[in-house]
Amino acid sequence: MEKKGNNRKLRVCVATCNRADYSKLAPIMFGIKTEPEFFELDVVVLGSHLIDDYGNTYRMIEQDDFDINTRLHTIVRGEDEAAMVESVGLALVKLPDVLNRLKPDIMIVHGDRFDALALATSAALMNIRILHIEGGEVSGTIDDSIRHAITKLAHYHVCCTRSAEQHLISMCEDHDRILLAGCPSYDKLLSAKNKDYMSIIRMWLGDDVKCKDYIVALQHPVTTDIKHSIKMFELTLDALISFNKRTLVLFPNIDAGSKEMVRVMRKKGIEHHPNFRAVKHVPFDQFIQLVAHAGCMIGNSSCGVREVGAFGTPVINLGTRQIGRETGENVLHVRDADTQDKILQALHLQFGKQYPCSKIYGDGNAVPRILKFLKSIDLQEPLQKKFCFPPVKENISQDIDHILETLSALAVDLGGTNLRVAIVSMKGEIVKKYTQFNPKTYEERINLILQMCVEAAAEAVKLNCRILGVGIGGGIIHQHELIHGSSFCAAELGHLVVSLDGPDCSCGSHGCIEAYASGMALQREAKKLHDEDLLLMEGMSVPKDEAVGALHLIQAAKLGNVKAQSILRTAGTALGLGVVNILHTMNPSLVILSGVLANHYIHIVKDVIRQQALPSVQDVDVVVSDLVDPALLGAASMVLDYTTRRIY
């Protein structure tokens, strides 16, 4: 992608708050630095980077030869919930001056920390475009809420997994502004394992430690359940002491509860225990080597479930802090880490194993993709974000006419003898019904239906009925809702094909249920018998001005006409086979037959189900509707359900 509408270098501000986010941002910063013809880089450092108790990690940024443009002391000490809120507030007070001075085109913000929320809020309110790294992921604690809040403020998104991309789309973010790049830290991880790791292991854990014979522990407080997370940390340390392996313990981050966790470490003498090395910070390049060659990593850091998978190192993930993360098979979850024994058993299961390397979070090529994405940003585009909401039903403002109107539908019933159209209210009341004899040809029928609908619609105005639509057809109800289908043509049950060489159907096909069992089909068969003088039985007559229809066929069958009985049996069997197909497809709990022919078909349909259906669906209830005019009411419900209740 070429730079769009930008005739000058893109001024990029990268703001980093702690050791964890710098490990993701540093590869991007190095990439930006290698292309000075396209970018100007400003680095802002804040948060725990500038606190001695957390390792003064700003120094590693200087060691990487980045010029730190601004240092902002934004942390209010206390390591509790109030201190986190005050720290956000302090950052919001200090950041406007910095952003006014730097005037970046875009700010790159990472992750889900409270410091990052302050950065994104400041940039958004000052009309600075935001690129958010690692949005769309799911973990646990307050981090989820913060991450998604930053997503809503950000203009562009770089995500690491396909699931995260789909989450962003589900959150109504513009797909064109989402880049699935992978995690930037993987660009370094996947090229790191061949370095001289033994010297690093000895430096941090001692000269007598062997590869794959030590543990790395990194556990943070869970801000939504601080008391439990401190207890879990205490149990973890007890389990590690019992397991009796050399262990590198990193101090927790600055979240609420971290101070209490450090007290637990000191109470147990971890800093002076011969099996433990407790440190505030390890440079990322060295940390990579340590976890890559560890016998196991334990804790609740995102690093354990994300980066460590690249090496196949066994991981024990404790508690709920990373509960929603995608993980490789190297991760064993102990979500309810409420006893020392559970954690100890997990250590015995995992320690020393080697799993396949996982690339869930990246393939080592994230930074080139991100740089290309940055170059494609058009600064001439409107700054205002657009959200891609799913379509919703148009809201109709209320007025007195709407309130006084009766919401209604036109229902059409195409019978063998008659065409019927009715105005049906929302309460299922037939306000007015229109009936006409069914013409002989298809074109005449369609024209008559249109004429009757126009007449009914005109009458509806006089009756103060607002027609919402016209309904024709059967229906399938699933979980108390009508199924309409993708093009609103679901449940055309009459056109299920039950014979490949059956009679022609009005739909243009042949062998449909309707071609066998509808009123028009029976009328056709009755006329054939009548024309051959094989229909009428003793006591029967058809006036000259009356058309032969399905009722005559039924009457003849009742009087013992074998051919009429055979036709009705074939029609009922066709309907039964169609019902069997529905049973095998939908597995409904109830089948309702309606119309004047339903009572004549029900016993045959039940027999076909017993003979043809799988045993698992044979217990279905088959009943005849006791509604008056069920065909009209069913057709109306298709319209009324869609237009007044369902949202697509």
% residues pLDDT > 70 (the chain) = 95
Looking up tokens 């930053």 gives 150
In sequence order, the β-bridge partners of residue 277 are 248
Mean per-residue pLDDT of the chain: 89
Confidence (pLDDT) at 574:
93
Q: Give the pLDDT confidence of 353-399 residue by residue, as tens digits.
A: 999 998 899 999 999 999 999 999 999 999 999 898 887 765 555 56
- pLDDT-derived band at 645, boundaries 50, 70, 90: low
- pLDDT-derived band at 648, boundaries 50, 70, 90: very low
Confidence (pLDDT) at 393:
63
Confidence (pLDDT) at 89:
95
Where would I find the H helices in 546-597? 550-558, 562-586
What are the distances in angstroms from CA 519 to CA 339, 415, 463, 596?
A: 73, 6, 32, 9
Higher pLDDT: 372 or 521? It is 372
Q: Tell me: pLDDT of 65 over 90.
A: yes
Higher pLDDT: 3 or 14? It is 14
382, 392 contact by CB (below 8 A): no
Q: Can you tell me the distance from the alpha carbon of 359 to that of 21, in angstroms, rounded to the nearest whole number?
A: 20
**Exposed, middle or buried: residue 647 (CB in 10 Å: 0-12, 13-18, 19+)?**
exposed
Mean pLDDT within 143-154: 95
643 Cβ partners below 8 Å, 6+ apart?
409, 468, 469
Q: Tell me: pLDDT of 414 over 60.
A: yes
Confidence (pLDDT) at 646:
44
Confidence (pLDDT) at 403:
60
Q: Tell me: pLDDT of 19 over 70.
A: yes
Higher pLDDT: 3 or 501? It is 501
**Exposed, middle or buried: residue 348 (CB in 10 Å: 0-12, 13-18, 19+)?**
exposed
Q: Give the pLDDT confidence of 486-498 residue by residue, as tens digits.
A: 776 777 888 899 9
Q: Tell me: pLDDT of 2 over 50.
A: no
Q: Give the pLDDT confidence of 333-347 residue by residue, as tens digits.
A: 998 888 999 999 999
Q: Can you tell me the distance from the alpha carbon of 169 to that of 451, in angstroms, rounded to the nearest whole number?
A: 47
Q: Can you tell me the distance from the alpha carbon of 217 to that of 594, in angstroms, rounded to the nearest whole number?
A: 69
Q: Give the pLDDT confidence of 76-86 residue by residue, as tens digits.
A: 988 888 999 99
**How do 106-110 and 68-72 pair as beta strands?**
unpaired
Confidence (pLDDT) at 579:
93
- pLDDT-derived band at 127, boundaries 50, 70, 90: very high
Q: Tell me: pLDDT of 70 over 70.
A: yes
Confidence (pLDDT) at 194:
60
Q: Tell me: pLDDT of 402 over 70.
A: no
